[in-house]
Each structure stands twice: as structure tokens, then as C-alpha cells.
Structure 1
Amino acid sequence: MTQTVDYYMNNHLIHKNRRLSTSTSEWVRSFSCEDLKPLIVCRGPIRKEAMDVYGEMGITHFGILLSEKDSIVYPNALAPELRQLTDSRRVHRVPDYTGASKEERVERIHQIIRIATDNGYDSIFAGYGFMAEDDEFVAAIENAGLKFIGPCSATQAGAGKKDEAKRTALTVNVSVTPGIDNVTARTLLKKHPTREKLLALAKSDGLACDAKIINDPGISLEDLADHILYASYAKGVDLFSIEELCAQVQAEVAAMFKKYPQSRVRLKAIGGGGGKGQRILGASLLTVKNADDKAIAKAAAEAPTLVREILNEVKANGVGDNKNILVELNIEQTRHNEIQLLGNGEWCIALGGRDCSLQMHEQKLLEVSVTQEGLAAAIAKAKAAGKKSEVKALESDLTVLKRMEEESERFGKAVGLDSASTFECIVDRDRHFFMEVNTRIQVEHRVTELCYSLKFTNPKDKKDFFVVESLVEAMALLAQHKERLPKPERIVRFNASVEARLNATDASLSPHAGGMIRYWSKPIEGEIRDDQGISMLNPDTGLFVKYKVAGAYDSNIALLLTNGEDRLDSYERMSAVIRSTTLRGSDLATNLEFHYGLVNWFLGNNVNAKPTTRFVVPYLTLVGTLKEEANKMDPVYAFLQMKKHYAKRIAEQFPDDPQVAKNMSALLDRKGTLITRPMERLLGDPHLLSGWLSMNTKNFRIDDGKVVWLRNPLGVLNETYEYLHMSFRPHKPAAEIIWGHDNELLQQSLRFSRTLREKFGLARDEYFKLNEFLQNDEPQGGFDADTWEQIRSTHFGYEAGLELLGMLFMIGENTRFWDLRVEEDLEITIPDYLTDPDLQARMKKILVPPPVTKADEIVAACGGMYYAQEAPGMPHFVEEGMHFEKGQPLYIIEVMKMFNKVYAPFSGTVDKILIQGGDGIIVQKGQPLFKVTPDEKFIEVDLNEIEREKRALTTKYLKAVL
């Protein structure tokens, strides 16, 4: 947490003092947490945030846990936290946070508890990490006499397990997604279909069942099976095989396909989180109106493989593990909304919502606040602008939000929520469905903190209160003073906030581990950067300390946040933050440019738009088409051709005065880099181009294939330099900004244009009227003939050549960029072609070409941990001498918490397996894995042909702008 977030009350800034012990109020002082001694066992930005908050609260005895797999312990990558926590006795190390198996996980739990008790800690904080929702871990902590800074084990068991949470939701009248929550019980009943057989099984296996339950004749068979299963988990035995579970899931999936035609089904582990342990199947049935049994069976046949992947991913494939999986209808047009909850076991309060729909592979990317106050303000603004459809859409959102907040509080009280948690929902227009509860603090919790603070008031004296602005602080308070804390009042700080997750991913948002950060610019005013302390400078030298991004756990590097009076304000601030951020390194890839393009896409369309969870992949596909088209453009060649065009035009107009043509050529030469440098930047990064096209949507139109400017291109060029963060700044290297002579020419041009507009009393957007004046041969505005002709000539000279910018609009037109749009009711129209899986796969390769490889090699698609088989004990995907087909799975890479199955890009034979040493070996992107003999020879690219194609398209676009 590089900057402290200050507390706002009635628009007045108050620097919050977290040390309650310094208060003049005895009641407030009684809630001091200075004697709390927590061990922080999480990682990433939340670890640094917890350290900072605890320090500000006056907590002096806290420690942190480091894993040997965490990037912060790699050579030359000193943990940023260790620059702050210099006492080595408070830094503790373990091989891994959770272990790779059930046995290792149990061992790690006991190891962490030993570390806590041996070193004088009285509590454990797991943040939003791997252990935060583990009810066994929490129960072990409680049994050891320690506090858990988070929901207690009873709440974890009742709300953290997705199947139990769904059953609880149904009992308290909370809307849930249609599906099956007890497939393991059904699997057991398939083998032992009667009450007598179930009881015989329990007796033969010596399971410790509750006599009251097993002797109750009124209990259903499925509930009885569930009870016996939980007894088997306690003993550590399996009552059915994974193969039998897979077969049952397959049957349930087939039944779901029949019940809900043209739908997909989502399989979801009851544990996990952050997108782990989820798979969707049934894509082949989406467009089939009346699927027959054969088509349904084929689609359902995917289930066994996906079940194994899920169990492997959440490490629930060991003997005695709870292997239950939810089988749910996948709501296609969904928005992912969540409600922040806080409780003490007796009261529960909702703190507004967050829209997390902008995600990919179940991983959130951009999160936006959704509050009653923010929506009310947006409704008032839309009403004032006469936008009836937008008003109706926003009012619907407000109604749904109020329902979700009310249901979440009811659910929280039902499970005895005694800390921070998140109530997650699927929103489908004016309906919502409860999805799950994350019994932990969320990565995006600060989106809520920027909108609300908590005011705790003495029940006996309303003037006696204290304000908490941090959920991490609130969790510590609850751990220390749970029952005594009165229900707080939520106080509005800002109407809107937004968070961008800066991740180690490439331009296609695929994980990119292994890079080194060597420089990170300072935060700008208003930027809130949770970066694990990476951008802290060396206190002795003032230099940046390089940081290794290994990616053994997740892709997140930092969280970038902004706030505002409304969503537009917060988005504009986020755009400024990303624009001003410079991040450099070696073998480093992040999604910073993606975020810049995405934020500006919404700024150019409508920030109140309602994207669904399906938005990002089609958007990325569209960005890929921009890159494919931009790759065929040559701005320097275009500029040279434009010079020839002007030379011919001038020669025809002034056949007897060659000096005029010479002067025009010299003028255009002065503009060469002024125009082509920003164009090359935009053409070189499709994410930047996407944002630029979105922001300039209203600055042009195309008539009969010709670009017509609706705004002065000089102003657009100037804003383009600002958009690219290339405006003139004397302290910056010339390579990063507009060159001095170009800036001088641009500013001269802008001053002339502004003076001319003011002379005619024209507004900035009345470029058409100005051109109409200048088309007149007769002097206008009271100028004499000579001055008038000089004005026209100067205007022509300043604007000559700027037509080239219009070629960028032609790229947008040719790729149908504006077909992806926001409608008046805030719904987003996604053209069908952008949902084509083949196009999506091809554009992914356009955005990030596969690693350079030899014709006889297959190399690692990305960095991470290599696995040769689907699950322990199963056969390897390929063996030496084996023939493989295109699309056949070759290996799995575990990176950023996710298991990514990699498929063969072509067919061939494996000659030699180059990676040795078993599963879990860390590989680097591009590292050779197999020596192969392809079935077909690779055709080398003809560079001359590519050049001819580029010039042909460039010439075609030139005709549209000249």
C-alpha cells in the first residue's frame, strides 16, 4: 500500500488515526488492538496492506510467512516486505503455503500453528490467500487456542463450502442458481440404493455416525447418504471411486442438458475460489434447438475429464477428501455482482456491491463499485439528459442491488457471520441468483472501502464513536472484540470507485511468468497503488530494487484504484493513472495496456454500460482483428506517398511556380515525425488503438468510403499525444515524448486555429463552419484580400498531412470495430462473429504469436509448473515414439493457480521427451519440451509478399483519406 487512503466526511479530509488507544474516550480506548499478536500467512498486496494497517493500529508484534515457491525469495528479488520488516525473528519460512497433497496440507497446517505458538503469536490472518476459506485450518487454529482473523470455523463450514451455502440460502429464501448440490450423495446411492445398504456400509466401515440421524426414519435417503459421507471424510476413507463419481456427474449433466435446452452446464468444486475448480461444458448444444440423445451424450461425455481437472486443481483428489461438485445451469447473459458483508455473529451489515463482470478464465480484471448512492446519482444525471432507456436500466440495477443487500444480510445472520465475507451473485437483467459466499476478504475489498467507512457508536452516548475505513482493521477489531462491537453505520466517502488488477499476463491475457521488474514510475496524485511494496525505493540509494515475477501462485502484481464523485470521474482518473504509469523490465509482460484500452473503450461508449462475463473474450478478439489489420499498415510509406500526392496536386495548381511545390514538400517534411510517431505507437499496440478509436468515435464519419473529419484534426493529434503520454515534458527522454521541433510546430498550429475560431466566434466543435468560411474565395471576417489568402494558405499548410490520421479510422471501419457497442438501455451488443471459437483462437495467436520454435520442437507455451499427466496415477499424455494428432492434449502447465491444458498445434510423432524429473518442474516460456517429427513440413513465410500486401492496403486506405 504505497499511499494511505484518507477518510472523507462531508467533503472534508480527515487523516484517520487508527490508534484507538490515543482517544480521549474510555469507550473508544477499550477497543484498542495493540496487544493483538497476529501471524500473517497470506501473500501479495494483502500481506503488505495488513502489515501497514497493523502498524498504524499500534500492533507491534506481528510476523509474516514466506513460501519457498513465492517469487519474493528468488535470487536478486528481495521481498519488498522485508525492506520494512527487518527483524528476521518475525519472518518465517515454509516450503509451500498449502502443500501439493492432502497429507502435505495437514502437515502445513500443523507447521503454521507451531510457528505461531512457538513465536508468541496469538492470532493468524490469512487474507484472501489459499488458507483463508479452509474450515479445517480455522478449526485447528481455534483448537490450538489461537484467534483466526476471519470467519470462524462454523461459518466457514456453513457458508464457505458451496454446497452447504446453497442449502442454507434455500432455507432463508435466497434466490439460487438451478442445479444439483449433492452429486456425491447420488453417487453413493447409485452403489447402495436402499436405507439398509447404506447403514450396512456405515457399520462395515466403522463410521462414526450420529445415532439420532441414522435412526430417524423420516430422513431422506440423499440426506442419509450425505451424513454417512461426512463421517467417511472424518475417518479418511473413500466410499466410491473417482470413476464412479465421474459417471454420476456425466449422467447429471446429460439430464441438465435435456431439462434446459440450448444451455451450458457449469461444474464447480465446493472449495476453491478465485476461479479455481470451475469448468463449463456444452458449447456444442448452444445453437441446437432440439438436440437428440446422441448429441447430448457426446456433450456430456466431456464431464469425466473436467471432473478430474477440477479435483486436481483444488487438491481434493486424495483418499477421504470431500469430492462434491456442484452441477449448475450456466446463466449465459450474466453479470457478476457481489455484496461486501461484515458481521460479529449477531449483527450483519451489507456495504454495497461491486460489479466484477469484466473477467476472463474466471479471473477478475476490472472491478467497479455499485452503491445505492452512486446509482441514485447516475439516475438523476440520466434523467436530466433525457435518457429514458438509461434511466430505466439504472433503476432496475438499483432495485436488484437493494434485494441483494437485504438477502445477503439475512444469509450472513443465518450462518453467524463474525468477520468479513462476500455474498456473490449472478445478475441477469432484473433477476439475480445467489452463487456462493467467499468467507474471506476479497482482492477487490478496497473498491468498497473507497465508497464506505464504518462508524461504530457507543450505545450509551451517540457523540462517542470511532470511524474505521479499512476492512483489514475491522477484521482485527472483530477478532479481538467480537461480541462487544456494536453494529456500525456505513458512511459514504465517494459515490464511485474502480480497481484494475495489474497482472503478469501477455497481450492476450495469458499468464506470463518469469519476468523481472526493473523500474516502476511513482504514483500520481489520486492514485492508490497496492503493489506489495515493489515500487518502494532503496532507502540508502534511492534506486528502484528489481523484482522477480515468478508466478508460482497467481498473476497479480498490484491493484490500481481510483475514486470519484461518479463512475465517469473514477474511470477518467483510472485512465490518467494508467497513462502515467511506466513499467519496465526484462521478459516482462503485464495487462497494463489492456486495461488502458478497456477503460477508454468504456469512456468512449458509456461507463454505465452493463458488460456480462462474456464480454472480455469477444473484446480481445476484436482487438486481435485490429492488430491483424494494423500489421498490414506502413505509416512511413503512407507519408511518402502522401508527399507525392501533394506534389502532383500543387504542380497542377501552380504549373509555372515550382517554388510552391518545393515549399510544400519542405513543410510536409517538417511534419513527418509529428504525424508518423504517434501513428506507429497506435499501430504497434492494438490495445492502445482500441482505446483511441473509442475516444474518437464522434470525431469523424465515413461518406461513400471517404473519411470526413467532424473535428479539427490538429486538436485530435494534440489529444493523441496526451493519450499516448507523449506530450512535451522537458525532463523526459526524447524517445518517450513529442520531439521539441514537432511540439513547436504543433503548438503554433493550435494557436493559429484557436485564434481563427475566436475571430469568427466559433466553438471548438464547429470545425465544419470554420471550413465553410475558409472555402470562400471572397475575404471573410473583415480581412482584406491579401490577408485572407494568407490565412487560407496558412490554414492549409498547418493541416496538410493530418489526413493520415484518418487511416486509423479506416482500420476501425474495416474490422467492424464499432459493431461492438453499448445500446441506449446500457446493454452491450456483441456481434456473432466475435463469439466464433475459431476466430477467437486465431486472434489470440495474432495478439501473441506462439514462441519461436524449430520445426522439430514443441516448446512451453508459457512459464509455470509442468505436469505430464491429467492426475496422479493416470497415464502420461504422450510417450516417446507415440503419434499425436492436432488438438490432442500434450501436457499441463500450472500457472497463476490455474491448470492449463496445452494441445498439439499440429500432428506428428514424439521422438524424445526433453523434460525430465517428474511433475511439478518449473519451466520457462519457449523452453523445448519435446523433439518431434511433424506430419507435414512447415512453409516459410515470404517476407517480400508481406511487404507487397502492406503497401497495397496502405495505398487503399490512402485513397479514403486524401
Structure 2
Amino acid sequence: MSNEFYLNNPLVHSDRRLGRATSAWVRQFDCGGIRPLIICRGPIRKEAMDTFAEMGIEHFGILLSEKDSIVYRNALAPELRSLTNPDRVHRVPDYSGANKEEREQRIEQIINIARDNDYNAIFAGYGFMAEDQTMVAAMEKAGLNFIGPCSRTVHDAGLKDEAKRTALKCGVSVTPGIDNGTALALLKKHPDVAALKALVKAHGLNVPDKTLEDSHVELADKADIVLSASYEKGIDIYTVDELCDALTEAVDKMTAEYPENRVRLKAISGGGGKGQRILGIGESARTPEMVREILNEVKTTGVGDNKNVLVELNIETTRHNEIQVIGNGDWSITMGGRDCSLQMHEQKLLEVSVTVESLQRAIDQAEASGQTEEARILKQDLKTLIAMENEAAAFGAAVGLDSVSTFECIVDRDKHFFMEMNTRIQVEHRVTELCYALHFVNPDNSADSFTVESLVEAMVLLAAHGPKLPKPTRVPRYNDSVEARLNATNQALQPHAGGVIESWSDATEREIRDDQGISLHNPDTDVFMKYTLAGAYDSNIALLLTVGETRLDTYEQMAETIRQTRMRGQDLATNLEFHYGLVNWFIGQNINARPTTRFIVPYLTAIGELKERANDLDVRMAYKTICANELSELQGGEATSMAQVLQSKESLYLRPLELLISEPHIMAGWLSVNRDCYTLIDGKISWNENPIALLADTYHFLNMDFVPGDNPPAATMIWDHDNDILQDALKFYNELTNRLDAQDWVELNTLLDAQDPPKGLSKRIWRQVRAAHIGFQAGADVLAALPSIAEATGYYDLTVNPNLTINIPERLTDETHQELMAKVLVPPPVANSDEILAESGGMFYSRETPEHEVYVSKGDHFEAGDPLFIVEVMKMFNKVYAPFSGTIKEVLVESDGMIISKGQTIFKIEPDEVLVQITPEEQAARRKNITGQFLAQL
């Protein structure tokens, strides 16, 4: 919410102070009496602060974790630039605690803070505590108004096993699998009612005998009742080993039933990619290892924790769709959908609105242009969306939804399956609220109404006045919206802890930017304040959103937003370039493409292939050769004149070309939108458009347009003398095209090849025109390096089919090749042959869990592929495997939980074989060969 467009556009923002309304009916929904404590961080905290202020809520505070204090140099958090009252800032060690005991302490601490500071409500945003049933119940018991779904809804809908059972009862499609692994584990030891009754008695559990004797209750459900009682008492009645055995049996059974599918393991309390693992075909033996990783990641390893893990069929061609649901416990409605398929490692990257209105418009456009197959697919998507919305509304009613939640599904062609319900507001909630508003009408007077455009505002209204709110209707706002998550990741989308943002351009006119206040300048000096990115929390920096009348318009606005964004800093790595390439890939291919959740890794692999080829192409050598070839056909003064021309144009061509070659994601975007700029004829690159016009477009694509004046740094734009040459050339070709009435570049170039002048021009003028043309085109062949790289790597084989699926070449799905290309994108730190280095910063762990033995110790021998250690970075646990075999000579990290940095030596080792590295001479010979292959295409 940090830009003028967002603040001033009535379709995006409105006065939210209902207490100021002239209508008594509207005024009754004033929320000024709510006094909330915000217990979350990141963009949602800043959004909540702004929304509360706009609603007239004057008394609110924020919870500040000690881990927040390391990310900002001049204040504990960026938000403190706007929230300056120290009495409204409250400090805790961490938001949720590392284990059950710490979580319980934190909940009690939050309740005490609320009581001591006159807060009567809690807002938890989209942090994990927002879905913690224990916390929500504790807040309710303490008399605090929880701004979100009540504890009953969190239990029935938020726990994945309970949600799946509810879905089955109300006719919602679910993924094949088991949701009661803990019950199965318990029944292996206590296989009947008598055994369960004995267990209850032995542990003094609060389960009446008549409950276990009820013949209408299934045995597995009785086991769940006993389990619930054990959780309430805080004891364990099964071991993790026993759970792993039961889940391994379930995995084996599913593998036998679906031999061509992988299996997904999913913690009932996970979310946002945490607590999920996928077992490859034939990997059931790894189930215990994966289960322990999952439990450790979601921090449910303590005594009395519910350790249930779902086993589900992994639908291999899935798209991830979700439906926004809102209710007051009586009514439940939906607000359209979002496609979140563009994700990696369960972490969403780009989220796109899916609405009835948008799909119908796309269908009409496809039919009008004769795209019958595309229209057929879009019609099926419309049917699927309507079905998911109906099921979401029914599920919301079944669990008594009394706030905002998200109904998540996986879509496989014409089928869809309920996955889970997130009982919290989602990171991507703005994608929905930009497409729909909620219109509330007085049941006794249809002229008396108000409209809510913010889902955070809707949550507050429901918390304060839920039962009184009539069922609203959804009102369309924009047809389409899209959100890009700006994350702290490297070019391979691996988390990149650390780094300092030293400057960040202001939001553009059409950009909606949500961050946690990083964009706010110093109120006294108007200077951008440096911001340090830490690895304590997730990798998200900001959420970038755009809207449009069509999906294409929305994507083009996003591309333009990113094009104009400049971010600089120390050791700073973000996925901004990735988003620029990806958005332009869809613009260049088909904006209605249907990627699956497995698209991003092959896409990244294709980008790695571009980078690998570009690394071996010497464009400066190529330009010198092109110049020499052009001069070889000239003599005397012509040669001297042409040499001067070629020298003067060297930076004009090579600056943008070298930038594109050094930034593979940006090069991928350029290749995508310019895929029709050339044709390969008999192995030779032939331009379909004027390379000079293409060059001008390239400078614009790179945000290097000429800006007169002294302010812009020379490094960020075309140099003035290069711009003079380029503008003269563009004027020349514009004039010539108009004079000759040429339809396109191919026709104009054919005319210029002829020695005889066209009608209306003298031979003298025509000679001058052709000479000028030769001069303006001199050296332009070097631009063909870009399509040459695309052709050599088969980049355009990654394409959209007529049925909107994506054709992914087999080579891009090979895991070994994927790993290799990831290392091309982000080369590992240079290590001596006797050491293992950390490829990223984060928190070091030497073992699976505290109960396990360390992976390797001094003197241990390891094989290639063996696990060596774990790095926790941006909330994700990344296991590091041995790249080769060897023996540990020394362990250089003292203990678990220590912070390590990228490139830090972890082990001194003795490799089994001496690694052979390529010599500089071999590298030079390779570059000469690849450059020669390019030149042969001219």
C-alpha cells in the first residue's frame, strides 16, 4: 500500500470508517471499539496497521520478535517509522516458540500483554499462529476477540485430517489417501475396543467406556477419540517409530495401487510448503526419514504433540487452485479463485486470479479468433471453477466458518480434488480483493448499504459484528489481477539469507506494492533507509500486484512494473529477474497457458541451459570477427570510414548484449517476447524485423532508455553518443519505410538489396540511401548471438500446446540435469579439494533431529549422495548431500543451531579421488569453438 495509485484509486481503496456514515444501520457496524494486538510480521502487519487506522481503530499495538531486531539497522522494524508510540510496541523472543512448551509460554505471554495494555482483540495475519487451534482457544478463553476463524473452525477445517473427513461428509472431492496414520499406528498395538479401554484406564484418559462401546462409531474413529484425549493430557501413547511403521505400510499399499504415481506426506499442521515431502517411485523405504523431517520442520516432536501425517496420492499433472471463502457462521460465500500453480518446493511464486467473468471473456476471445481447442479447455476450467466454488461454500458452512479462509484444491485436467482449508488470510489475498468487493445491504431497505474492499477489514467486521452482518453479494472490480512474490533468493530460487537493500525505486503508477514498510523513506530527509534481510523468517520481501481488463493486460502491467523496478544492495539476491523472465515467457507464449506445479523446475533448467551456452560465447570476440569480415570487402577510404563507424557502435551493441548474456532470466524474457524476430533458414539466422528497431526495443526492455539531464547514472541508461547513433538510424528507417510504403522489414530489406532505385528516387539518392543503410546495419549481426543461444539450447522447445498444456522436453525433467543446471545458475563456492563449503547461509544442524545421531563425525567415510548436514534458511530445512565420496578429517562447526555463512568451510575432508578441473586453456578453446559456431550462423 505504498504508492499513490493504490491510495487514490477508488476501485482499490475507500473510506473504511463506517461510524461516519449517515445511515444508522451502517453506523452500527463501526469497529472503533476493537483494540487489536497484531501478533504477526511482514507485509500483513503493515497492511493491518494501515487498515485499522483507516477504519478508525485508534488503539492497536504490534508484537515485535527479537529476531526482527536484526533486520533493520536504524530501528527494530520498518513499521516503527509510522508507529512511533513505544507503549504500543511489545517484545517477545519469538512469535511462536521452537517447541510445544515455548508455544504455550508465548500464548500466555501474549494474553498477559493484551490484558496489561487494554487490547481486546488479536490479529494473527497469515502466520502459522493464525491456524494454531490451541492458541485461538486460549485467546477465546481469556475473553479476547480473535480476528479470524474461531477455534472450532480451526479444528474442524484447519487440521488436515479433520478437514478431509468433513469434506467426505459434505460431498467434496478429496485426494486418495489416508488421514489417520496415528490411529492406524495405535490400532497396531491396541487392535480392538477392549485394548483401547485398557489403554484409557492405564493412562487415566478422559474417555467414557460408553463412547468406546458405541457400535455406530468406527474402530478407527474410536482410536482418534483416545488420541485426542492423550493430546489433551499431554502424553504420548505411540512412538514416532510406530507411526513411521504404520505410514510405511500405507505408502506401500498406495504404491501397489498407483504404481505410476509418487506419494505425498503432509503434516496436518503444515502449510506454506512446510511439513511436506514427496516420495519418489520405489522410495517407500525413505518414509521414516521423511516423516521425521516433517515433524521436525513443523515442530511437533514434543511429548503430547499430535504427530499425524497424511499419506496422499501425488497427482502428477496438478494445478494448484484455491477458492476464497468468507462466512459469519451462518452464511458462507465464495469470492472466486486463484491459480497458484507457479511454485517451487511448495512455495508459491506467482499467483493469478481465476474468476467467472475473466474466464468467460477469455472464452469469447478464443472463439472469436477461431481457437476452438483453447475455448474448449477454458470452458472446462469455467465448469471446474463453479464446482470448486460450490464445494467451498458448502464446506465453509459445514465447519461453521465465521471469518476468512481459503479452500485449496488440486486440478488435474477435468477433475479436481480438495486438498486442505487454510483457516487464515492468505499471502495472496489481494489477488482476490482486487477482483471482488463485498456489498452488504440492509434487509429492510435496499437503498441502505455499504461496500467492503479489504479482506482484512472484512475479518475485523466479522470479529466485531459477525452475527448481525447480512449475507453480502460479491461485486466485480477488476477482471484480472496477478501477484509476484519478491523473495530473497538466488537465480536458482534457493533462499539467500543476508544482504542489504540500499536503494529501491518508488512504486510505479500502476503498481500495488505491499511490504512491511521497507519502501517508506526517512520522514525527515526523504532518504531510503537501508534494510538488512535476515534468514530468521521466510524469504518474502514484498508482494507486487497489478490489475487489468484482461489477463494479458495484467501480465503486461506486471512486466512493466518489474522493468522499471531498480533495487541495489550489498550481497543482495532476489527473484526479481526471475519474475521478469517468467512473466514475459507467458506473454510471449500464451497468457492462458495451464502450467502445473511441476513447471518451474524444468523452466529453471532451461534457463540454466541458456546460461551455460552464454558462458561459452565471447561476444566481444564475435564482434571483432564480424567487423573484420565487413572490412575485408572494402578498400581505401571506404574501409577507413567503415572502421570508424564500427568502432563508434561497439558500446551501442555490446552493452545491452553483455547485460542480457550475464542475466539469464532477463535473456529468457527477451527471447520469449522476441521469438518471431528471426527465422532459421538452412542453419542461418535471418531477421524478420529490423535489428536496429530490435536494438531500440532491447534498451527499453532493459530499462536503459535515454533520460536527459544530470541525474540518472550513466550505468543505468544508453550513453548519449550511442543514443544519437540509434535515434538517427530509427529516423532514417521510419522515413524510408514511409517513402517506400514497405509493409515490413523483409520487404524493405529486399528493396534495399536492389541496385536499381524504386520509382520516385534518383540513382544518386538511392546510392546514398543504400550507403546509409549499410552504415546503420554495420555490426548489427552481433545481436544474432541471442537467437543463436536459443537455437543451440532448444529453448523454444519449451512451449504451450493448443490445449494450453505445456510441452516440456524430456531432458528438462531429468533430475541429474536439473541439479547440474541449478549449479550453472548459481555456481557453488570455490572449494579446495580437501573441504566442503556451505552453499548458503543459515542455521547449521548436524543431524535429523536432536534424538538422532549426527550424519558424519571426524574419521567417518561418506559416499557420494550421503547426507552431511542440514541448513535451515528462511524457515525451510535444506539437507546437504555429499557431491563425492571421501573421509571427514575435521568438523569445523562446533554445535547445532550455529549460524553459518555462504562459502564457510564446514568439513575438512580427504576425497577418495582427486577432482579434475578444467584448465584456463581448455576454457578458452571451448569459448572459441562456441563463438565460431555462432559466427557460422550469420
TM-score by length of 1: 0.96
CA distance in 1, matches of 2:11, 2:798: 41
8 Å contact from structure 1 (residues 77, 546) kept in 2: no
Percent identical residues: 58
Q: Which residue of 2 aligns with 1:158?
A: 156
* Alignment of 1:767 onto 2:745: yes
Secondary structure of the residue that 1:51 maps to in structure 2?
helix
Alignment of 1:54-203 (within 5 A): 54-70=52-68, 75-76=73-74, 78-203=76-201
Change over 3 Å in CA distance of 1:15–1:302 after alignment to 2: closer
Moved more, 945-954 or 810-819: 945-954
Q: 1:751 to 1:75 in 2, by over 3 A?
A: closer
Match 1:854 to one of 832, 849, 871: 832
Correspondences of 1:310-389 after superposition (within 5 Å): 310-389=294-373
More divergent stretch after superposition (664-673 vs 145-154): 664-673
Q: Aligned partner of 1:213: which letter? A: T
Alignment CA distance shift 1:267-1:14 (3 Å): closer
The residue type equivalent to 1:489 in the other structure is T
Query: Does the C-alpha gap of structure 1 residues 101 and 803 become closer, same or farther in structure 2, counting only changes over 3 Å?
Result: same
- Per-residue Cα deviation, 1:430-483 (whole angstroms, up to 9, x for no partner): 111000000000000000111111111111111111111110010011110010
* Residue 464 to residue 280, structure 1, CA distance change in 2 (3 Å): same
When normalised by structure 2's length, the TM-score is 0.98
For residues 882-897 of structure 1, the aligned pairs below 5 Å read: 882-897=860-875
CA contact (8 A) 2:193 2:212 kept: no
Question: Alpha-carbon deviation of 1:600?
Answer: 0.5
How far 1:101 sits from its partner (Å)? Answer: 1.1
Partner in structure 2 of residue 44 of structure 1: 42
| Equivalence for 1:406 | 390
Deviation at 1:940, TM superposition (A): 4.3
Amino acid at match of 2:2: T
Encode CA deviations 1:620-660: one digit per residue, 9 max, x unaligned.
00000000000001111111111110011224xxxxxx111
**C-alpha displacement of 1:78:** 4.0
Partner secondary structure for residue 198 of structure 1: helix
Determine whether 1:928 maps to 2:916.
Answer: no
Relative to 1, partners in 2 of residues 1:6 and 1:665: Cα closer, same or farther, differing over 3 Å?
closer
> Is residue 755 of structure 1 aligned with residue 735 of structure 2?
yes
When residues 912 and 888 of structure 1 are mapped into structure 2, their CA distance, relative to the original with a 3 A threshold, is: same
The one of 224, 232, 255 aligned to 1:226: 224
Deviates more, 1:882-891 or 1:46-55: 882-891
Matched, 1:825 2:803: yes
The one-letter code matched in structure 2 to 1:643 is C
| Partner Cα distance (2:72, 2:847) in 1 | 28
Which 10-residue stretch deviates more, 215-224 or 509-518? Answer: 215-224
2:684 maps to 1:684: no
- Does the 8 Å contact 1:77/1:547 carry over to 2? no
Output the amino acid matched with 1:879.
Answer: S
Shift in CA distance, 5/796, structure 1 to aligned 2, threshold 3 Å: closer
The whole-number CA distance in structure 2 between the counterparts of 1:564 and 1:84 is 31
Which amino acid in 1 is paired with 2:877? Answer: F
Q: Which residue is equivalent to 1:395?
A: 379
Shift of 1:920: 2.1
- CA deviation map 1:762-788 (0-9, x unaligned): 34xx11111222222221031011111
Aligned residue runs from structure 1 range 556-705, under 5 A: 556-651=540-635, 658-705=636-683
Whether the 8 Å contact between 1:759 and 1:781 is mirrored in structure 2 is no
Is residue 451–residue 496 contact of structure 1 (8 Å, CA) maintained in 2? yes
SS at match of 1:453: strand
Structure 2, unmatched stretches of 5+, are none
Segments of structure 1 that go 5 or more residues without pairing to the other structure are: 286-295, 652-657
Alignment of structure 1 residues 167-316 onto 2, 5 Å: 167-282=165-280, 285=281, 296=282, 299-316=283-300
Deviations 1:739-794 (A, max 9, x none): 1011111111111111111112234xx11111222222221031011111111111
Residues 97 and 130 of structure 1 are in contact (CA less than 8 Å); yes or no, is this contact kept in structure 2?
no
Structure 2 Cα separation of the partners of residues 437 and 773 of structure 1? 64
Report the AA paired with residue 898 of structure 1.
M
User: Paired residue for 1:793?
Assistant: 771
Q: Which amino acid aligns with 1:910?
A: I
CA distance in 2, matches of 1:325, 1:957: 54
AA partner of residue 845 (structure 2): Y
CA 1:88–1:512 in structure 2 vs 1: closer, same or farther (change >3 Å)? same
Match in the other structure for 2:716: 736
The alpha-carbon deviation at position 74 of structure 1 amounts to: 5.3
* Partner in structure 2 of residue 291 of structure 1: none
Q: Distance in 2 between matches of 1:768 and 1:507?
A: 37
Q: Which moved more, 1:851-860 or 1:536-545?
A: 851-860
Matches of residues 804-823 of structure 1 in structure 2 within 5 Å? 804-823=782-801
Question: C-alpha deviations, 1:557-601, integer Å up to 9, x for none?
Answer: 000000000100010010011111111111110000000000001
Larger CA deviation: 435-444 vs 633-642: 633-642
Cα offsets for 1:227-275 (capped at 9, x unmatched): 1111111111111110111111111101100001111000000011101
1:669-689: per-residue Cα shift (whole Å, max 9, x none)?
111111111110010011011
| Partners of 1:711 and 1:767 within 8 A in 2 | yes
Give the Cα–Cα distance (whole angstroms) in 1 for the partners of residues 37 and 207 of structure 2.
36
Question: Aligned letter for 1:534?
Answer: I
Q: Report the Cα distance in structure 2 between the residues aligned to 1:114 and 1:860, rounded to whole angstroms.
A: 42
1:435-446 alignment runs, 5 A limit = 435-446=419-430
Aligned to 2:896: 919
Q: Quick check: 1:900 aligned with 2:898?
A: no
CA shift for structure 1 position 936: 2.4
Moved more, 196-205 or 207-216: 207-216
User: What SS does the aligned partner of 1:59 have?
Assistant: coil
| CA-CA distance at 1:906 after TM superposition | 2.0
1:484 is matched by which residue type in structure 2?
Answer: K
Kept in 2, the 8 Å contact 1:701–1:708? The answer is yes
SS in 2 for 1:301: helix
Q: CA deviation at 1:880?
A: 1.6
Output the CA distance in 2 between the equivalents of 1:238 and 1:808: 62
Distance apart, 1:34 and its partner CA: 1.1
Q: Offset of 1:937 from its aligned partner?
A: 2.6
**Pair 5,125 (structure 1): closer, same or farther in 2 beyond 3 Å:** farther
**1:735 maps to amino acid:** A
Residues 73-128 of structure 1 deviation map (CA, whole Å, 9 limit, x = unaligned)? 55446411111111111111111111111111111111111111111100100000
Tell me if structure 2 keeps the 8 A contact 1:500–1:561.
yes
Secondary structure in structure 2 of the residue aligned to 1:424: strand
- Cα contact 1:715–1:750 (8 A) shared by 2: yes
- Please give the residue correspondences for 1:457-536 in structure 2 after superposition, counting only pairs within 5 Å: 457-536=441-520
Structure 1 residues 340 and 72, CA gap change in structure 2 (3 angstroms): farther
Whether the aligned pair in 2 keeps the contact of 1:630 and 1:811 (CA below 8 Å) is: yes
For residues 33 and 870 of structure 2, the distance between their equivalents in structure 1, rounded to whole angstroms, comes to 47
State the AA in 1 paired with 2:667: L
Distance change in 2, residues 1:423/1:72 (3 Å): farther
Secondary structure at the aligned position of 1:189 is classed as: helix
**Which residue number corresponds to residue 868 of structure 1?**
846
Matches of 1:501 and 1:208 in 2, distance apart? Answer: 46
Instruction: Choose 810-819 or 210-219, whichever is displaced more.
Output: 210-219
SS of the equivalent of 1:936 reads coil
Matched residue count? 936
Distance across 2 between alignment mates of 1:752 and 1:71? 58
Specify which of 508, 521, 543 is matched with residue 537 of structure 1.
521
What is the distance in 2 between the residues matched to 1:735 and 1:942?
A: 33
* Counterparts of 2:684 and 2:7, CA distance in 1: 53
The match for 2:726 is: 746
Q: In the alignment, residue 108 of structure 1 is paired with which amino acid? A: R
Paired residue secondary structure (2:936): helix
